[in-house]
Amino acid sequence: MQTQRNSKKKEQDSIPQPIRGNDGFEDRGPRNVLLDQQNPDLLVPPATDHGTLPNMKFSFSMAHNRLQEGGWARQVTIRELPISKEIAAVNMCLKPGALREMHWHKEAEWAYMLWGRARLSSVDQNGQNFLDDVGPHDMWNFPAGIPHSIQGLEEGCEFLLIFDDGNFSEDSTFLITDWFNYTPKHILAKNFGVSESDFSELPTDVDHTRYIFQGEIPGPLSSDEVPNKLGERSFTYHISDLKPLKTSGGTVRIIDSTIFPAASTIAVGIVDVEPGGLRELHWHPNTDEWQYYLEGNGRMTVFASEHTARTFNYSAGDVGVVPFAMGHYVENTSDDTPLRFLEVFRSPHFQDVSLNQWMALIPPELVKEHLDVGDKVMKSLRKEKWPLVK
């Protein structure tokens, strides 16, 4: 009996309560304890939080999933996260051999491989083709209007697709089967110089599209090659081509149009923060920041001016957004697990302003007069940029 009481007390002690010192009181009403445990800084905000800000977090786990024979897809857009006006994203998985139907978009498509391997194919406006295989952490970018397809290789694959418009929808993709089914067969026959009967076996799914469907696992890359290659231009970027910038608290890899010209509308930072480390206090002077958390657990406070700030907690699969020019940091809240996340911007270039560097590069007396800090703080400032600091 004593063991049962001890177990019940231990369970109650593990349930977070909205209490901070003398503020707040127990929540004895209906509640989702698991969500409260995942969002401790919403249940018990830091005393420095103040004012009202829009929600800046949404999890792919709460997004509707579209299941197909060849895999699945779910999206987070402005409809799920209204503050995300510039970026939308799709999380997609393909079985071995499965195909993401030949298609194109009004928006550019940037992608990050989460696991597995895939084969990409494309043709540009000059009639030159592109074919490549990608693996974990590799990237690709197809500019708006450029047709392409994706196929899972032996182990299948999962990837994150980024689109440079928050209003994007997977349902608005231009699909090849959809176009064929909504074009008169005599027009198809005239266009290709064949008879109408040659199009009698077009897919007749409920929505007249295949979208994600099962195919055969392709052979070696060389077996799929077609003459008329794209030449020096590449729609893919392999992570092995880029060495990380190492700092005292982790690493960062920056991929933008400077090193990946095909990605002319999307810039990305792949940030790794060591346990207890910090993505330093900073802001972005050119556009909003869209985040995707790959592993670990993090905390971010966003400073929005007008005496307003709010703190959010993030874990793997979560999306975060920081509106243009708002100050923020990202802290690894784990004692033993690294934090990895993507910083994504609708911009050809990665830009940020470091609070530390700003304070270091102006007259010291000016800083002291503003903040009433001593020499110890002034000596800690660094003139070089530190994307991560301990």
**Same domain? 279 vs 191:** no
Give the chain's domain count.
2
**Same domain? 248 vs 319:** yes
Residue 119's domain is classified under what CATH number? Answer: 2.60.120.10
Cα–Cα distance, 292 to 286 (Å, whole number): 19
Angle at 55 between CA 357 and CA 64, to 5 degrees: 120
Determine contact, residues 224/129, Cβ cutoff 8 Å: no
User: Which of the listed residues 170, 197, 232 is the one where a domain comes to its end?
Assistant: 232
Low-confidence ranges of the chain (pLDDT < 50): none
**Same domain? 223 vs 350:** no
pLDDT at 227: 75
Determine contact, residues 252/268, Cβ cutoff 8 Å: no
Q: Give CA 124 to chain center in angstroms.
A: 26
Cα–Cα distance, 201 to 251 (Å, whole number): 53
What are the residues whose beta carbons fall under 8 Å from the beta carbon of 1, sequence distance 6 or more?
A: none
Residue 365's domain spans which residues?
239-380
pLDDT at 157: 98
Angle at 383 between CA 379 and CA 384, to 5 degrees: 130
Cα–Cα distance, 149 to 205 (Å, whole number): 19
3-state SS, 64-120, equals CEEEECCEEEEEECCCCCCCCCCCEEEEEEECCCCEEEEEECCCCEEEEEEEEEEEE
pLDDT at 229: 64
Task: Count other Cβ atoms within 10 Å, centred on residue 1.
Answer: 5
343 a catalytic residue: yes
Cα–Cα distance, 89 to 104 (Å, whole number): 15
Give domain status of residue 339, yes or no: yes
Condensed to tens digits (0 to 9), the pLDDT of residues 166-181 reads 999 998 999 999 999 9
**Same domain? 278 vs 137:** no
pLDDT at 387: 60
User: Which of the listed residues 215, 232, 249 is the one where a domain comes to its end?
Assistant: 232
**Same domain? 158 vs 266:** no
Please give the full DSSP string across 139-173, using - where no structure is assigned: EEEE-TT--EEEEEEEEEEEEEEEES-TT--GGG-
End-to-end CA gap in the chain: 48
**Same domain? 271 vs 189:** no
Cα–Cα distance, 97 to 264 (Å, whole number): 30
**Same domain? 63 vs 184:** yes
**Same domain? 349 vs 368:** yes
Please give the full DSSP string across 29-62, using - where no structure is assigned: SS--HHHHHH-HHHHS--TT-BS-----EEEGGG
pLDDT at 384: 80
pLDDT at 223: 85
Out of 196, 343, 365, 384, pick the active-site residue.
Answer: 343
Determine contact, residues 164/265, Cβ cutoff 8 Å: yes
Cα–Cα distance, 38 to 76 (Å, whole number): 19
Is the pTM higher than 0.75? yes
Give domain status of residue 45, yes or no: no
What are the residues whose beta carbons fall under 8 Å from the beta carbon of 346, sequence distance 6 or more?
A: 86, 87, 164, 265, 266, 287, 288, 290
Cα–Cα distance, 91 to 81 (Å, whole number): 15
Give domain status of residue 91, yes or no: yes
Cα–Cα distance, 7 to 312 (Å, whole number): 31
